[in-house]
A and B are shown apart, each in its own frame.
Chain A
Amino acid sequence: MMRGTPRTFVGSVVLDLAGPVDPATAAQVRAELERHPRIRACELDAASGTLVVTARAAADRNDVVAVLERLGCPVRG
């Protein structure tokens, strides 16, 4: 689909970040995403760059990706 096509999801999505994440950025990612009203939890394995985001209500994956890109953690694939 086109970049920016709405991609609503429920449940969990696993995102692979392009490269490892330093502890300070990891903390920022957690804090920002968990502040999102539609996100219930996020687990970040900083070493492997794997992020599991679980939605509380239907959320848009693009919003999650936008937060990550703003924090300097682009998503792979």
Chain B
Amino acid sequence: MRAVLRGREREQAELRALTDRALDGQGAALLLRGQPGVGKTALVDSVVDSAGETLTVLRTRGVESEAPLPFAALHRLLRPVLSHLDGVPAPQAEALRTAFGETGDGVPDRHLVYLATLNLLSEVSADRPVLAVADDAHWLDDASAAALLFTARRLEGEPVALLFAVRDDETGAFDVRDLPVLELTGVDGQAADALIADRSGTPVAAQVRAELRAATGGNPLGLLELTGALNAEQLAGRERLPERLPLTAGVEQAFLERYRRLPDETRTLLLVAAADDTGRTATVLRAAEALGAGIGDLDRAERSELVRVDDDAVTLRHPLVRSAIYGAATTSARHRVHRALADALAGTPQEDRRAWHLAAAAEGPDEEVVTALVQAAERAQARGGHEAAAAAWHRAAELTLDPAARAERLHHAAVSSWSAGRALETDRIVRAALVDADDPVLRVELLVLQGQVEWNTGSLDDGYRIVCRAAAAAAAYDVERARVLAVLASALASFGARAGDAPDPATITPAPTAADGPEQVVAAALIEGFTAVSRDDWSTAARALRRAWDTPLGPGAPPLLRSNLAIATLHLGDDERAIDLHDLQLQQARDAGAITMIEHALTRGAVFRIATGAWSEATTAAQEALLLDRNLGLDELVTFPLAELALVAALRGEGRAPQVFEELEAALAERPPRGAITGIVSGLTHWAAARQPDVPPATALHHLEQIDLPVARWLSALDRVETAVRADRRDLAEAWLAELHAFAEGTDMAWAWAVVHHGRAVLGDDVEHNLLRALEWHERSPRRPARARTQLALGEHLRRTRRRTDARPPLRAALDAFEELGATSWAERARQELRASGETARRGDRLVPTGLTAQESQIAGLVRQGLSNKDVAARLYISPRTVDFHLRNVFSKLEITSRTELAALPDESLST
């Protein structure tokens, strides 16, 4: 194979640079991309050969037929180093063992498998740097591909190089948009001629060489195979060359011609080898023998150079040999070899492979095959292989004659597909299931899933419409289920979902009776509350939601009820209850390793922390959510924590606020929020936009006018009123104040009354009286920033009315509060007012940016809480070595040398 490496000096140097960086502890991933036969594997072999002395080399390969076998390729890669799993945090190690089928307890969240992969490689590299190679990565099973891509994006600071080789005409689910790429093209003319000479062994006419170079574009395999297919007369230029075929087809044709010259039995053996995905000689021989071939045919196949036989392995010379032979076979021949392979695997641990061969051999509905596929699906699910589970359930459904059973299996497939985050596929499977599903219970569950896909990835209104219909359908046979679904529908409506043609969630189920348990009472109260929110009927909403909160639920209550109890706090701005419920949710999510729920609880909890002035905590929570989103590829969620970070930066008046806001805008442009978070993200974004430095009042007002969601209107109410007055839109200020007044009257929330009174003062209505009334209400509210703003307004008013002594206490209180909050611009304003009142205000300690990145700041914060590097790594879904890498940067930037010094620093020292 060395001959193929002619003309590859530049590429070899680039690959050496990759391994050299790993040796220096600067790990990275690289994608080697090129057409079939261009020499990717040969290059990979060369880097493996040269790295073997200094690096631990791990290697795997994607196999097209292994797509339904979860983590198969990853298992091959990591099998030689699984003894190092003891150094990986126990939950991750356990998840990886389960993913590989070594234990059977089920993977709680497959991100744990991804993290285990990263940490295992990191652990192995502690002994010696690692080169991990995935050849034919376009054919990796989905679960392995996801784990390796997760790892590839987190190698900073790890002595690990990860090399993927992929065909440029195959992408599959292998999403490589952000990995560096080394494109491999044909070799130059000189190297091409040398390859032709290597293959022919005789002089080749110049025009023939030119034609071969042109036909192959310098593709080494093409050059070798097409040259080998020419006879002596053709090579000498005395006979016409065959008609030119596209390169891949041409190479396949060359392989096929060699294949067709072999005896029937040998061809059968080669077809078995092409259909087989174990690569084991024993399996291939056993299946081939059942079809009349024998060991002699294996020898003949090897002599044809279409396969290699080493020890216990049969390897096709090139993937194009496989596609050529398999593609040329008739359907009935394929059925036969798959059946033979299934029989050959009977009684072995390769049950999943056997199930898929049985499925490929099936010529009609077959319950034996369906049972094997269902078992494969259940095994895949337990290992966290959602895509594989979906595929197996789907295939089982396709071979199921009974429509009801088929619909049931399709429902399982759709649930698995949704767990894998495949919205389009889920929707397609649900639609197929609805064609067959007669059972009303199943139809409802299918509709709920369809609605969930829709409101998360498509239209909130359409998703709402589907869930309303599901709830209405459920009401005919299961009122309790219908009521829980009506909670879901009404919650969507409370976040702005509308559909005139959908059943009203409030009327789908009757009121609970005295015989109904607390769950039904809570569900009914939530429906009433959410429905009232969507009508702006705040007194009904407050009464109903408080009834729901005050009704104790048993431990078996549906999770959907509990999560909606927390969501409801957002509508009333019940900050303390909201923080308690979301903190509880966060703790439960952390205990269960439920990552999306962790993200959910962090971002929702941060909203209330922004309102109450726990801005450092809000920032910490939003940063953790953002890191989770980015570390786990949850790109569709990043705008929520980014909006929170942009808002806190703007409220604090930080110098970097415009930069944070730009980052938010870029994320919004790339991936606008969808579904239920749209309103809150939009509201927080417009509020942050209005609070950017030097924004003219008219521009700020333009942003504030676009806030639709009531909760976001209430949060920004004081800014809305103040800005409208500054922009000479008193009419708007009065209208917004009237809206908030109605909310305050209906809910009696202290913070709302406080802002109403402060707003009246802004409008010039009995200023001192209203500001004092506002402060009375603030005493009953946890919203510290709003209280400090009222204190500042009162101090300013008193100072301007020449009551300078009276002005000082509220101004001092405001300054203290703003300094505590880190609200620099407001603090400066309070300081100036104090000076104007005749008091020598102390100089504030301006925050000095440390230049820490968000990740460094986050890691420093967690280390200050006493977490070890391992704990920080587990919390942020990165490796301990990456934590160490960032922590060293933190020490350097802060000019400290120990964790003790870090813990002793004041909070502001960690600002980014």
> Which residue numbers of A lie inside 8 Å of B, CB to CB?
1-16, 50, 52, 54, 57-58, 60-62, 76-77
Contacts and interface: CB of A to CB of B under 8 A. Distances in A.
A54 B335 CA distance: 22
A57 B363 CA distance: 10
B326 A9 contact: no
Contacts of B436: 11-12
A11 B405 CA distance: 11
Nearest to A11: B406
A11 B65 contact: no
A5 B274 CA distance: 11
A24 B636 CA distance: 38
B108 interface: no
User: Which 4 A-B pairs rank lowest in CB-CB distance, beginning with the nearest?
Assistant: A58-B364, A9-B398, A14-B432, A12-B435
13 contacts: A1-B360, A2-B326, A3-B323, A4-B326, A8-B364, A11-B400, A11-B401, A11-B435, A12-B432, A12-B436, A13-B432, A50-B428, A77-B425
B431 A52 contact: yes
A61 B359 CA distance: 13
B813 interface: no
Contacts of B797: none
A11 B398 CA distance: 7
B356 A1 contact: yes
Task: Label chain B's interface by main secondary structure.
Answer: helix
A8 B338 CA distance: 13
Interface string B386-419: 0000000001011111010010000000000000
Contacts of A12: 432, 435-436
A52 B432 contact: yes
A1 B432 contact: no
B398 A8 contact: yes
A52 B68 contact: no
Given A10-B364, A11-B398, 20 more contacts: A1-B68, A1-B360, A2-B64, A2-B65, A2-B275, A2-B326, A4-B326, A7-B395, A10-B401, A11-B406, A11-B435, A11-B436, A14-B428, A14-B431, A50-B428, A54-B435, A61-B398, A62-B331, A76-B424, A77-B425
Given A10-B400, A60-B331, A16 B65 contact: no
A77 B422 CA distance: 11
B362 interface: yes
A52 B204 CA distance: 56
A32 B403 CA distance: 25
Contacts of B334: 4-6
Nearest to A14: B432
Contacts of A15: 428
Nearest to A61: B398
A4 B435 contact: no
A6 B365 contact: no
Contacts of B652: none
Interface in B76-127: none
A38 to B, nearest CB: 10
A59 to B, nearest CB: 10
B340 to A, nearest CB: 14
B690 interface: no
B831 interface: no
Interface in B418-444: 424-425, 428-429, 431-432, 435-436
B429 A14 contact: yes
Nearest to B63: A2
Interface in B360-378: 360-365
B322 interface: yes
Given A11-B403, A16-B424, A60-B331, A2 B435 contact: no
B65 A6 contact: no
Contacts of A61: 398
Nearest to A15: B428
B67 interface: yes
Contacts of B365: 10, 58
A60 to B, nearest CB: 7
